[in-house]
Amino acid sequence: MIICANNLEKLPGIRHGFFTREGGVSTGIYKGLNCGPGSNDDPDHVFENRNIVAANLGVAGEDLCSLYQVHGSDVMLIQGGYPDDQRPQADGMVTTTPGVALGILTADCAPVLFAEPETGVIGAAHAGWRGALDGVTDMVIEAMMDLGARRSKISAVVGPCISQESYEVGPEFPQYFLDEDAANQEFFIPAARADHFLFNLSDYVHMRLAEAGVGQVESLGLDTGADEARFFSYRRATHRGEPDYGRQISAIALAPALN
C-alpha cells in the first residue's frame, strides 16, 4: 500500500509515503484507497481512506491536507488542517508545522515530495504537464527557501505517474515545450500513430528539479497507466469510457514533537 523513497526514508524527522490504491474501503471503479474528495465516490469511503493514510503517517485525520488542484503553479503555506470543502486552489504546498501532512492527489500526473530536514521545511507539488512547464516545482523550492530551507539540502522525489510508453500526445503538444527550450525535444519520441508522440513527464520533472539545484533528486519510475492493480489512472479510465476515476495520494509530514 505504501511506497517509500530512499532519499526521504533516511531523513530524520520526516514521514512520507507514495500510497497506492491497494487497501482502503472504496468499491467499484474506486476500489481501494481512493483519497480524492473531488471524485464521485461515497464521501464516507473517501473520509475513511484518508484517515487510513493519516494513521500511517502518524498524524490526525484532520491534519492530512490536500489542495483543490488546478494545474497551475501557485503554492500555499499550510499551518494546520482545514475541511475538505475549504481546500485552497493551488498545486504546491509547504509547511514547517510538525504533525501536518501535505497530500498530493494524482491519477497520472506526477506527485513530487520535498524535504529539508535540517531546517524543518517540507513541500509537495502536483505536476501535470502544464504545472510542470509553468514551474510548480521551482515555486515550491522558492517557497521552502522563504521558510529557511537551503536549496542544496533539499531532497526531492518524483512519485508514480504516467510513463512515456503510456502517454501519447497529439502533434501540437510538443511545441509548448519546444517554445520554452528546444532541448526539450529529448522528452519526446514518435508514437505508433502518425504525427503523434510519447512524452516523458517523469524525466521532464526530474530535469526541472536537477536544474533547480536541489541536493538530491530521485524518480520512482512507476507507471500509473500500466499498473492497474496499484494505481488509478485518468487516461486509462477515459480510454475505457468510465464515468470517473479514483485518486491516489502521496504525502509527507514532519514528525510531531514529543510532549
- Match 503555506 to its residue by C-alpha cell: 77
The average pLDDT across 32-45 equals: 97
For residue 198, count other CB atoms closer than 10 A to its CB: 17
In a domain, 84, yes or no: yes
- The model's confidence at residue 144, banded by pLDDT at 50, 70 and 90, is very high
In angstroms, the CA 203 to CA 216 distance is 15
pTM equals 0.97
| Residue 214 forms part of a structural domain | yes
Task: Please write the tens of the pLDDT for every residue from 64-96.
Answer: 999 999 999 999 999 999 988 899 999 999 999
Q: Which of 80, 77, 104 is nearest to 93 (CA)?
A: 77
pLDDT, tens digit (0-9, with 9 covering 90-100), for 187-211: 999 999 999 999 999 999 999 999 9
Is the CB of residue 97 less than 8 Å from the CB of residue 59? no
pLDDT mean across residues, the chain: 97
Q: What are φ and ψ of residue 15, in 5° steps?
A: -120, 140
pLDDT at 259 over 60: no
Mean pLDDT of 35-42: 97
Place of cell 517523469: 202
pLDDT tens column, 108-124: 999 999 999 999 999 99
Domain assignment present for 171: no
Answer yes or no: is 248 within a domain.
yes
Domains in the chain, number: 1
Q: Which residues contact 137 (CB under 8 A, 6 or more apart)?
A: 92, 112, 125, 127, 156, 205, 208, 209, 212
- E strand map for the chain: 2-3, 14-19, 64-65, 75-77, 92-95, 101-106, 110-116, 121-127, 155-158, 168-169, 188-190, 197-199, 216-219, 248-254
Residue 130 within a domain: yes
Full residue range of the structural domain in which residue 88 is found = 2-163+200-254
Q: How confident is the model at residue 254 (pLDDT cuts 50, 70, 90)?
A: very high
Note whether residue 79 is domain-resident: yes
Cite the beta strand spans of 85-220 per DSSP E. 92-95, 101-106, 110-116, 121-127, 155-158, 168-169, 188-190, 197-199, 216-219
Q: What is the CATH number of the domain that holds 134?
A: 3.60.140.10
User: 107: closest CA among 174, 34, 15?
Assistant: 34
| pLDDT score of 257 more than 90 | no
